[in-house]
Structure 1
C-alpha cells in the first residue's frame, strides 16, 4: 500500500473489506497508534464465531459475544505488535456492541484475560449500537495506544 504521508506508518490485515471500504486497520503518528474498529475474523478474513441470524437477517442471539470479543482482541494484538506495542500500551478502547448486557458479561471476563489483570489500565467505553458492518458481527472494538518511540 502506498502511503502518501511519510510521517504515518500504516498497517492492514489484508482482508477484502479494507480495499472495498478504503481504509487502513491502524495508523501511527508520532507516539500514538490509532487502531480502526476490529472484528472477529481469522487471517483469511472469515468471521470467527459469527452470530446466527433470524429471518430478518439480525442476530438471533448473542451467545457468540465472548468468542467474538476474544478474537477481536487477538486481531488488535497482532496489529499492535507490528508497531512493537502491546495491550499494555493501550490508553483507550471503545467496544461497539449490539447487546450491552451480554457484552458487559463477556467483556468483563475477556478484557481481564487479554490484559492480564483484573483492572486493565486504560479508559474503556461500552456503547450499544443498532448495527455493525456485517450482520453476523455483534462486536467491534477500536483502540488508541501510546508508545515512547516515534514511527520509523
Structure 2
C-alpha cells in the first residue's frame, strides 16, 4: 500500500491563484517550496508597478528595487505560515527583465532582507523576456528547509 504524502499549503488569497490554479507555497516533509513571488499587496494590487510604453512593455526598470523589497516581504509572510523565515531559505531563483538593473537591485535588497552581506542560500538570477504581469519586473521563487513538522 502506497503511503500518502502529507502536504500543507498556503496562499495570499489573490485572484490569480484560482485563475491559474496553483498554491503560493507548499510544504512536503521538511521542505517548503514557494512559487514565484511578485510585488503585490494583500488585495492583489501591484506595488511599484513599472510604467508601460505604448507597446505595453516596461518603459524603464527604475522600480526593480521597490518590487524586490515587496516580493521578499510577501515571501516572508508565506514562510511565517509554516513557522519559517528567510533564515530557513536554502535556495532562490531570481527572474528579472534586465540583468544590469536586476543584479544591482537584487544585490542590495537581498542583503537588506536576509540581514547579512552574504545571504546563506544558493541563488541563481535569470533574464527572461516577460513575466506574468506586464508591470512586473522581478519574480523570486524560494525553497526552505525546516525541522520536520
The TM-score, its normalising length taken from structure 1, stands at 0.94
Structure 1 unmatched ranges of 5 or more: none
Aligned to 1:116: 115
What are the residue-to-residue correspondences of 1:1-152 with 2, within 5 Å?
7-150=6-149
Which 4+ runs in 1 deviate beyond 6 A?
none
CA drift of 1:65 comes to: 0.2
The TM-score, its normalising length taken from structure 2, stands at 0.96
- SS across alignment from 2:40: coil
Cα distance in 2 between the residues matched to 1:100 and 1:38: 18
Cα distance in 2 between the residues matched to 1:47 and 1:38: 12
CA drift of 1:149 comes to: 2.2
Contact 2:5 2:28 (C-alpha < 8 Å) held by counterparts: no
- What is the CA deviation profile of residues 28-85 of structure 1, one whole-angstrom value per residue up to 9, with x for unaligned ones? 0000000000000000000000000001100000000000000000000000001000
CA RMSD of aligned residues (A): 0.9
Structure 2 unmatched ranges of 5 or more: none
- SS across alignment from 2:105: helix
Cα distance in 2 between the residues matched to 1:127 and 1:41: 21
Contact 2:39 2:74 (C-alpha < 8 Å) held by counterparts: yes
Cα distance in 1 between the residues matched to 2:104 and 2:97: 13
